[in-house]
Amino acid sequence: MYYEHINLRGKVIFVYQFKQFTFDPILEKLSSDAHTHTLRPKVAKLLQYFLDNPEQLLSREQILNELWQHSQYRDSALTQSIQELRKTLGDDAQQPEFIKTVPQKGYMWIAPVEVTITPNIKSAPQRKGLSIAITIALSASVIGSAIWYTNIHTPTVAEHVNTQALPSIFIAPVENLTGQGQLDWWGFALQQQLKQATSAYFNVIDEVSAAGVSLENVVQNIAEVGFSAKLTQQQQRYVLHYQINRRGQSLQQGQLVSEDLQTPIDELVSQLVMQLSGHTEAVSTEKISANVQSRQSYLGGLHALSYQGVGAAIPYFRAALVHDIDNQVARLELANALWKTGMWQASREHFEAIKNIDATSYLATRYHLYLGRYWLNMGEYERVTPLLERTIAMARALNHQRLLAQGYQLQADLAWLQLRWQAHSKAMHSAKVLLGAGSLSHSESQRAFYLANPPQAGVEQSTELDMSENLAVVQKAIRYYRQQQQLAPLMLSYFALGQNYLAPLAAREQALKQALTMADSQNNLYVKNDILLYMAFYYIQLHDGDGALRALAQLKAEDTPRIGLQVKAQFLTAMATMDRVLQETMPSEGALNNALTHFKQLLGRTDIDKVTQASAQLMNAWLLIKQQAYERAKPLLERAGSTFEQLQLTDSLSYVRYTQMYIRVSQGQYQDAIAMLAAKPVQKLEALYGSFALTRLGQHQAAAKQLQAAKQQFASQWQQQDDDFFEQVVATASSQSLHLELLPPPYSVYCQSEWRLE
């Protein structure tokens, strides 16, 4: 059961439930059926930190750095707060239900946690605006499986903006101290405008990297310059109090005054940037509209895009065009938002209506970037290439690192779709050099290692990925975006957590459900369908075919123009149907034929890509092996193996190889099976099948030696069943007494990954 708390100011509330307790972090109240306790602020923050990081070992230093940065007695304060929290929970340190002490290491929250998210976005207050230009990049990358070979110039790191030569700057969120919640967007707009305008002079540090760190510590350890500001209202005027922290220099403070906040802020931004950078030349800022109402609506849309999601932003952009039909920046953001809600044709019409824009402007750069991603999702890769090249060239000319990084990310996505792994790795590295890992956590989670290139995933494990680092970044991002109430990036961060196989399964599933709920409430059909496709694959990994089919049934047809969406859905449907059959000891002939029919229909499609086709052939062969129809399975495996070899997909090729080995040992062709075995097996099943063949040939010592090596090589995948087989090999006196039933079949795992299966 979920409990909800509605914030009357319209913000989002996170309420936690664990066992008999409900915790409201806003009210700092911990409730059970019997009592309600109001916690001390530090104890409340400690509890929330535990609840945000369940089943994770948190060192004392980690907790202290997060919650007690400046206290002289912080170590004893933590001990006292732990004791107080345990007392309130009725927890026993010796036999804990909630907080487990790990001697010499730290603490771990061990109780299951549920979180309910309550957005309240029924009304959008009338907003006053400023002339400001900002770039919002919130869309998730689409990683599909289509194949198209083209040559795209991939710049080396030396060709990038030289971020090492630029000083770094951190621009903190502007605090709104006016008491007027409807002015929150003003500070957001100012912060984003400053980020854009300073990017020619600084390497701009992203907010997630500095989350939870004081500005003083940011300047000491992360950035060379820090900017922070507070908006107040004094004698009917608005006053922006700002301070500039420079490493090794004295604090610089100032004030800027505005009568009504309606005046365009080009001059304000120019003054601040010149103060920050020491440059006297004119600062490049982007004109929006001379019409005040159009400008206000556009800026309100940008704020809504991050804080409430794409569905809430669209009415603002439309209103901006009603007031000024020539507001090109509003039209571009509208075009980029519409296709994410399934309105592909309307989106294209708005893209085509954008004319005569300055080729050296931020607007032109974003136009080529957005349109390139539109065509990428439509599968029109030949249209993407020139748009991509122009995006990168324009961003370089503007010396704008974030637009340049987004161009490289688009380049990486295109290369991934074309299975050009080296080009993808170079482009992704370029983006990380410019933005840091934190800004790419969602895209990186999508490129983890999965079989058959299902949604947003590839068939090979990328050496560019560090899923441990990714997990830490994503968890930090979730805490930051929760605190900032930014729903759109929070949704993507939950999705990224759900895709990270190092996270506990319970945390992953909950994160996926949270992301799905948020995508639905934000009317982001694009991300919602991505999540549903991934959830289907997630459940298949856990051999829950029914759960996968339930997820696939929720896919929305409005998103069908996206390239490969129907193929992916049909492939996962066939895979889920196969899973249900393969989990049965003795499936009926009708069930087997039904599963085979799904793959036959999929393989009959003219628009199926090569990777999905080869993966479907492999799985079709698995079903035939279940029927012991080995001769019918062999040609399917040959075709799948040929495709995987052609595309240099070595992991997928190894799946074909151990499946062929299984057929050989099933048919008594033991020497042939051994001949297929590499000197060092790539997959665990290769080692098991090779050892079986060696044993049946009487080579017991060689078989035992190979199993011992495999147990060390595949320690994270080794199971009790494998130990039982090992013991049988050692104990077997006669090679003929070892039976095939001791071996796991090739379809026992759909992905030889590092998942934490609990």
User: In this predicted structure, what is the pLDDT of residue 738?
Assistant: 76
CB 406 within 8 A of CB 365: no
Q: How confident is the model at residue 116 (pLDDT cuts 50, 70, 90)?
A: low
Q: How confident is the model at residue 197 (pLDDT cuts 50, 70, 90)?
A: confident
Alpha-carbon span 501 to 613, nearest angstrom: 26
- pLDDT mean over 142-160: 30
Query: Does pLDDT of 461 surpass 80?
Result: no
Comma-separated ranges of CATH 1.10.10.10 domains in the chain = 13-118
Query: Does pLDDT of 172 surpass 50?
Result: yes
Regarding beta strands 225-234 and 168-171, do their DSSP bridges make them parallel or antiparallel, or are they unpaired? parallel
- pLDDT mean over 544-550: 92
Q: How confident is the model at residue 734 (pLDDT cuts 50, 70, 90)?
A: low
Alpha-carbon span 116 to 13, nearest angstrom: 8
Q: How confident is the model at residue 525 (pLDDT cuts 50, 70, 90)?
A: very high
**Pairwise pLDDT comparison (708 vs 401), residue with the higher score:** 708
User: In this predicted structure, what is the pLDDT of residue 353?
Assistant: 96
pLDDT > 90 fraction of the chain, expressed in percent and rounded: 36
Query: Does pLDDT of 313 surpass 80?
Result: yes
Comma-separated ranges of CATH 3.40.50.10070 domains in the chain = 157-435
Query: Does pLDDT of 121 surpass 80?
Result: no
User: In this predicted structure, what is the pLDDT of residue 553?
Assistant: 93
Alpha-carbon span 441 to 656, nearest angstrom: 31
Mean pLDDT of the chain: 80
pLDDT tens, residue by residue, 662-703? 999 999 999 999 999 877 788 899 999 999 999 999 898 899
- pLDDT mean over 545-571: 85
Q: How confident is the model at residue 14 (pLDDT cuts 50, 70, 90)?
A: low
C-alpha closest to that of 4 among 115, 113, 151: 115
Two structure tokens written together for 413: 């996505």
CB 537 within 8 A of CB 572: yes
Two structure tokens written together for 282: 């004119």
**Pairwise pLDDT comparison (69 vs 249), residue with the higher score:** 249
- Least-confidence region, from 64-68, 119-123, 503-507, 590-594: 119-123
C-alpha closest to that of 691 among 662, 719, 717: 662
Q: How confident is the model at residue 735 (pLDDT cuts 50, 70, 90)?
A: low
In the chain the first and final C-alpha atoms are separated, in Å, by 24
745 φ, ψ (degrees, to nearest 5): -70, 165
Q: How confident is the model at residue 326 (pLDDT cuts 50, 70, 90)?
A: very high
Helices (H) and strands (E) in the chain, counts: 29, 13
- pLDDT mean over 548-569: 83
The 3-class secondary structure across 28-80, one letter per residue, is CEEECCCCEEECCHHHHHHHHHHHHCCCCCECHHHHHHHHCCCCCCHHHHHHH
Alpha-carbon span 110 to 524, nearest angstrom: 34
Which CATH entry fits the domain spanning 13-118: 3.40.50.1100, 1.20.140.10, 1.10.10.10, 3.30.930.10?
Answer: 1.10.10.10
**Pairwise pLDDT comparison (721 vs 315), residue with the higher score:** 315
Two structure tokens written together for 529: 């369908």
Alpha-carbon span 126 to 180, nearest angstrom: 12
User: In this predicted structure, what is the pLDDT of residue 6?
Assistant: 31
**Pairwise pLDDT comparison (642 vs 123), residue with the higher score:** 642
- pLDDT mean over 499-521: 90
Query: Does pLDDT of 70 surpass 80?
Result: no
User: In this predicted structure, what is the pLDDT of residue 458?
Assistant: 37
- The CATH superfamily holding the domain 157-435 is TolB, N-terminal domain (3.40.50.10070)
Q: How confident is the model at residue 100 (pLDDT cuts 50, 70, 90)?
A: very high
CB 429 within 8 A of CB 464: yes
Alpha-carbon span 575 to 594, nearest angstrom: 12
User: In this predicted structure, what is the pLDDT of residue 136?
Assistant: 20
Burial (CB < 10 A; 0-12, 13-18, 19+), residue 732, is: middle
User: In this predicted structure, what is the pLDDT of residue 265?
Assistant: 62
The model carries a pTM of 0.71
Residue 613 identity (one-letter amino acid):
Q
**Pairwise pLDDT comparison (227 vs 737), residue with the higher score:** 227
- Least-confidence region, from 153-157, 305-309, 552-556, 732-736: 153-157
- pLDDT mean over 420-429: 84
**Pairwise pLDDT comparison (348 vs 41), residue with the higher score:** 348
User: In this predicted structure, what is the pLDDT of residue 299?
Assistant: 82
- Least-confidence region, from 7-21, 514-528, 725-739: 7-21
CB 171 within 8 A of CB 557: no
Task: Provide long-range contacts, Cβ within 8 A and 24+ apart, for 535-541.
Answer: 535/498, 536/454, 536/455, 536/572, 536/576, 537/450, 537/454, 537/455, 537/457, 537/572, 537/575, 538/498, 538/508, 538/509, 538/512, 539/576, 540/572, 540/575, 540/576, 540/579, 540/750, 541/750, 541/751, 541/755
- Least-confidence region, from 3-17, 53-67, 354-368, 398-412: 3-17
- pLDDT mean over 535-564: 85
